[in-house]
Chain A
Amino acid sequence: MVKKAKFDESGDSDDLQALFDSIASTPAVSAAPAPAPVAAAPAASDAGDNDDLQALFDSVAAEFTAPAVPTPKPAAAPVVANVAPAAVAQENDSETIEGVFTRIGQMTRQVHDTLRQLGFDHALQEVAEAIPDARQRLSYIAQMTEQAASRVLNATDIAQPIQDRLGADAENLQAKWDRLFANELSVDEFKALAADTRGFIGGVAEGTRQTNAQLMEIMMAQDFQDLTGQVIKKVVDMAQTLESQLLQVLLEITPNEKRTDAHTGLMNGPVVNSEGRDDVVTSQEQVDDLLESLGF
């Protein structure tokens, strides 16, 4: 019975419903004198339980204490009236299996009740619903930062050639002026140089204006930080909530579980916090030192 986890009106999942149905339909033992464990019917039916479910559970529990009537569903123990010893032996086996099923049913009920009482089933639902939202936010952040990076690189692509040209022209003119001061230029050449220099000075003014515009563009491109910062804060809050909720649920259900460190492998991305860690490097210098110490 594979169903998507749905919650009916009472809040119980369909899966739990199915589990109880299957327990209820397993055959009862015939005339067992052995006292079967009384199913601890949960007294807290005020926890919002479906009354039907409660009644079902009570009936399952009752079947094990009262002399039972063979149910219509045939089981591993077909009732053969005249073979008494064999019947008793088979009864004992079925009883053990039934006992196990009953206990599992009880435990499941307990887990379910605990989750419900602590309000976690709804909390988990909310948190699960919050995850697609977080994904969207993170995509937005990636988009914003990429746009900003693009804008900045474009601005530098425009500004650099302008600066390069200014520098080249300046060097060119300087060489000529040096020659002039060394008395190597003719009068005509000097006039040409003067004109060139005048043009150059105009060019510097224009080039500087253009470069400043690009610098302004670079500065403005940093505006992503404000927006992404806000979104990041929201995602961090969500992650914190998710973490604490899950931890609490885990602790409630499996208090004796030991924690094991996940093996993180070699694809961890940038080190965000190197405090207290001695398995990472924090500078190129350390990289070089490590490689050198290994003989590379």
Chain B
Amino acid sequence: MADPKMRFLVVDDFSTMRRIVRNLLKELGYTNVEEAEDGAVALQKLNSSQFEFVVTDWNMPNMDGLTLLQTIRQTPHLKHLPVLMITAEAKKENIIAAAQAGASGYIVKPFTAATLAEKLEKIFERLGKSAVA
């Protein structure tokens, strides 16, 4: 597990899902979690304070997850952020588009706590932040 104080931004238009992800992150030891209900609000928050990890849905009003991801990757002070997509979109087209846009991981709904833990760990490893050698 990486720094427990790591700041997460959870982006999803359904408050229930945001709550579930928050609880799961808490289970894994990460208690510093902020929420946003769409890509536009997420960008606002990302630009006004410091975050180390973004977890986002795809299908949202105002700005969808793919656009959010693309914008993050094009913004100099944000492009390093790991972005994990958690979404119901299950077309191969979607997965490929997300990967090409620079997503750090892709989880398809419905998902399990174990899957979330596994994907987080994988991303941390790649970032060289994992405490587990």
Contacts and interface: CB of A to CB of B under 8 A. Distances in A.
A150 B16 contact: yes
Contacts, number: 62
Interface in B58-84: 58-59, 64, 66
A269 B106 contact: no
Contacts of A269: 59, 88-89
A146 B90 CA distance: 23
B97 interface: yes
Interface string B1-40: 0000000000000011001100100000000000000000
A230 interface: no
Interface residues of A, number: 23
Contacts of B59: 267, 269
B47 interface: no
B125 to A, nearest CB: 14
Q: How large is the interface on B (under 10, 10 to 19, 20 to 34, 35 or more residues)?
A: 20 to 34
Nearest to B93: A266
A266 B91 contact: yes
Nearest to B111: A284
A284 B108 CA distance: 6
Contacts of A149: 16
Interface string B42-55: 00000000000000
Nearest to A294: B99
A259 B91 CA distance: 23
14 contacts: A146-B15, A153-B16, A153-B20, A266-B89, A267-B59, A268-B89, A270-B88, A271-B90, A280-B91, A284-B107, A287-B106, A290-B92, A290-B96, A294-B99
Interface of B: 15-16, 19-20, 23, 58-59, 64, 66, 88-97, 99, 106-109, 111, 115
Interface of A: 146, 149-150, 153, 156, 266-271, 274, 279-284, 287, 290-291, 294, 296
